[in-house]
Structure 1
Amino acid sequence: MLLRTLLSSVLFLTALLGPITSAWADSVWLNNGDRLSGEILLLDGGKLALKTKYAGRVLIDWKDIDTLRSDKPLLLRRTGLDSEHSKRLEAAGKGMVRVLNSTTETVPLASITRLVPPRPLLQDRVWEGNLDAKLDMQRNEDRTDEWQLKGNTRVEHARWRHVLTGELERKKENGEQTDNNWQYEYDLDRFFTDHWFWRAGIEQQRDEFDTIQRQRILGSGPGYRFWDNELGRFDLIGKFNRATFESAEGDLVFNTYSLEWDYKRLLWGTRLEFYSNAELQIPQIREIDYDLDSEFGLRYRLNSWARLSLLYELNQTGGVAAVSSSDRRYLLGVGIGW
């Protein structure tokens, strides 16, 4: 009964919102005289993303646009100014657009650096994220069931950015649990320019079957954003950290220096996504020289929300023989993105 009610509600909302969404027809006039119709998704990094019925999502260089029109509210940012709302945009001649709100102002297109539809609770930046799941079942001399859930999300508003990542893993062999761990990391970034920012973060790990049962790392340091637009991003961050390792034999507290990168690039008409995340830790203890936690992956977009994912993980620890290790894994799974 509950499932039937939910399905009926979804169908009702789809029927209700469908005509409203289709009524929003945006138009873009190019310098060569062509006109494109669709829905403006985003302007950032000098490119306008336009969703069309005939070609899907297309990317247009901002400098190639003569003027445009949008009947829906948009949040826009102009050079040197804070974000402002517009009820609609009207075409206003070559290289110009008319912004209609409580007042009417005609502004050069070249002065606009960002356009994005406003969202409830979030009024200044796209909220994005991914959630991937992987299941591995082996049936040979041993029965092995392993599943993994990985997710990440980020929200940027004004000069602040919130980044949250998490992972959950379970494994059973012949009915007995042999792996049970989780980890998460939360980072808060404060931008001082369009590129430079300061990051403060916390990371926790819990492993029921490992010698080190719990890890906690607090860190802070500068970061540099090379780019972040609808085609991808690249961040590089250096931090000073305070780490705490808890085990049955006692706690170990020490300092580390770390270098992180976060890279994403959309390819093949934005259908394919290549991404890489890594963190290199240099602990200030004799037993460990370095610790590398990295991943490289591909996601293929089946539609606007479903993904197929292929992930390669490389985790290495260098030091004395007792703690040195190298772990490589290949994961294939499905997921959702937003």
Structure 2
Amino acid sequence: MFHPKPVHLLAGCLLFSPLVHADTVWMKNGDRLSGTIRSLSNGKLVMETSYGGTVSLNWSAVSTLSSDKPIDVSTGNTTIKAQLEAADAGYIIVRRGDDEQRVRADKLEEFMKPKEQTDAIDWTGNVDAGISLKKASTRTQDYNLAYNNKINVGKWRNDFGGTYNREKEDDTMNTDNYSLRYALDYTFREQYFWQGRATYKRDWVEDISSQILIGTGPGYQFWDNELGSFSLALLGGAFGYRYSDGSSDNHAGASVRWDYQRNLRGKELALFTHGEVGHSLDDDAIFSMDAEVGLRYQLTSWSSLNITYGHNLISGTRDTLNERNFTTGLGVKW
């Protein structure tokens, strides 16, 4: 059995506290870390500690480890639930009931802590802000703000947020709008949910001065784990548009909504995209698309640098709207 040396530096404080009910990682340099193992992917082991927050470790520097609870371990095209136990240097025991295998650590490529559905409130969110001020032959002011919140309680998921964009060049206002959204999901079966969604947009520059989209329908959660999430929803509802002269029109329609996020390099990077594509169900053939794709780089456990590209398109109305936005800024998450 492998007997690691005492912890050095920050991890040394663990020698003065019990290691019961905690995952433990032994490094090749003799250090020992205790906390909660979150995931292994792309050569990065992510661990949550009480003394250093979330840390990312090079898997090649890990000697062995043990997990307090079963972990989802990927083996080729299948995933098994197994207990990981410490062995001698460079090996890990993978235990499933009475069956155990002694596996080389470098043969394990991906595993993660399973998400448990509880009645406790799980609240996550972020605020991203970008400001650009330029003074040359013209004076330009560009402001972008976006906030996102997700509150999960048991089978219920609440997703709400908003955006604000403003761009002014000298005395000319090129962009001035905001949006609000809210979605409520109920998981009625594993991976299947029913969604109700409402979106409101207000614009003081474009001919389409406001938009209201309301829809409800089934959805499917392809995955939701430590490495990311992906879901699709098919919604039926109505589109409403108001124009700058006060006129308006309404249409019944259907839309497809997607939400995708993938964590990379031990959660150091996150690739995300979300949006909605809709079409009216009448002869006017209204087509709408509101989508974003971006990359978020973690600066600290609570701050990030983000780059986002957004495209808002509406055709079939009396005036076509075709907006493209490229933003970069700093963010805060919780």
Give TM-score scaled by structure 2 length: 0.69
CA separation in 1, counterparts of 2:285 and 2:39? 46
Where does the alignment leave 5 or more consecutive residues of structure 2 unmatched? 1-12, 71-84, 86-92, 98-112
Q: 1:300 to 1:54 in 2, by over 3 A?
A: closer
Structure 1 segment 96-115 matched on structure 2, within 5 A:
113-114=114-115
Structure 1 segment 51-90 matched on structure 2, within 5 A:
51=48, 56-57=55-56, 67-68=67-68
Question: 1:310–1:332: 8 Å Cα contact kept in structure 2?
Answer: yes
Residue 260 of structure 2, aligned match among 250, 259, 263: 263
CA separation in 1, counterparts of 2:58 and 2:198? 37
Question: 2:130–2:144: 8 Å Cα contact kept in structure 1?
Answer: yes
Q: 1:178 to 1:67 in 2, by over 3 A?
A: closer
Residue 241 of structure 1, aligned match among 237, 241, 259: 237
CA separation in 2, counterparts of 1:54 and 1:249? 53
Report what 1:222 is aligned to: 218
Report what 2:326 is aligned to: 330
Which residue identity lines up with residue 284 of structure 1 in the other structure?
L
Report what 1:164 is aligned to: 160
Residue 227 of structure 2, aligned match among 222, 225, 231: 231
Report what 1:311 is aligned to: 308
Q: 1:210 to 1:329 in 2, by over 3 A?
A: closer
Residue 36 of structure 2, aligned match among 21, 27, 40: 40
SS for the counterpart of 1:192 is strand
**Does residue 208 of structure 2 align to residue 209 of structure 1?**
no
Report what 1:16 is aligned to: none
Question: 2:228–2:262: 8 Å Cα contact kept in structure 1?
Answer: yes
Post-superposition offset of 1:174: 1.4
Question: 1:182–1:206: 8 Å Cα contact kept in structure 2?
Answer: yes
Q: Deviations over 1:70-107 (max 9, x none)?
A: xxxxxx9xxxxxxxxxxxxxx9x99599xxxxxxxxxx
Which residue identity lines up with residue 336 of structure 1 in the other structure?
V
Which residue identity lines up with residue 68 of structure 1 in the other structure?
D
Question: 1:224–1:236: 8 Å Cα contact kept in structure 2?
Answer: yes
Structure 1 segment 184-199 matched on structure 2, within 5 A:
184-199=180-195
Post-superposition offset of 1:135: 1.4
Post-superposition offset of 1:255: 0.9
Report what 2:124 is aligned to: 128
SS for the counterpart of 1:269 is coil
Which residue identity lines up with residue 137 of structure 1 in the other structure?
L
Q: 1:212 to 1:324 in 2, by over 3 A?
A: closer
CA separation in 1, counterparts of 2:190 and 2:230? 13
CA separation in 2, counterparts of 1:115 and 1:291? 36
Residue 152 of structure 1, aligned match among 143, 148, 152: 148
Higher relative contact order (CA 8 A, sep 6+): 2
Structure 1 segment 15-26 matched on structure 2, within 5 A:
26=22
Question: 1:181–1:208: 8 Å Cα contact kept in structure 2?
Answer: yes
Which residue identity lines up with residue 328 of structure 1 in the other structure?
R
Question: 1:232–1:266: 8 Å Cα contact kept in structure 2?
Answer: yes
Where does the alignment leave 5 or more consecutive residues of structure 1 unmatched? 1-18, 70-75, 77-90, 98-111
Post-superposition offset of 1:149: 0.1
Question: 1:136–1:147: 8 Å Cα contact kept in structure 2?
Answer: yes
Post-superposition offset of 1:180: 2.4
Structure 1 segment 285-296 matched on structure 2, within 5 A:
285-296=282-293
Question: 2:293–2:310: 8 Å Cα contact kept in structure 1?
Answer: yes
Post-superposition offset of 1:187: 0.3
Post-superposition offset of 1:249: 3.7
**Does residue 270 of structure 2 align to residue 300 of structure 1?**
no
CA separation in 2, counterparts of 1:24 and 1:115? 25
Question: 2:25–2:34: 8 Å Cα contact kept in structure 1?
Answer: no
Question: 1:260–1:278: 8 Å Cα contact kept in structure 2?
Answer: yes
Post-superposition offset of 1:228: 0.6
CA separation in 2, counterparts of 1:331 and 1:95? 48
The RMSD of aligned alpha carbons is 4.0
Post-superposition offset of 1:276: 0.5
Which residue identity lines up with residue 272 of structure 2 in the other structure?
Y
Post-superposition offset of 1:131: 1.1
Post-superposition offset of 1:282: 0.5
CA separation in 2, counterparts of 1:23 and 1:167? 45
CA separation in 1, counterparts of 2:250 and 2:268? 45
Question: 2:53–2:301: 8 Å Cα contact kept in structure 1?
Answer: no
Q: 1:130 to 1:206 in 2, by over 3 A?
A: same
Post-superposition offset of 1:163: 0.4
Post-superposition offset of 1:215: 1.8
Q: Percent sequence identity over matched residues?
A: 25
Alignment length, in residue pairs? 274
CA separation in 2, counterparts of 1:185 and 1:225? 20
Question: 1:134–1:147: 8 Å Cα contact kept in structure 2?
Answer: yes
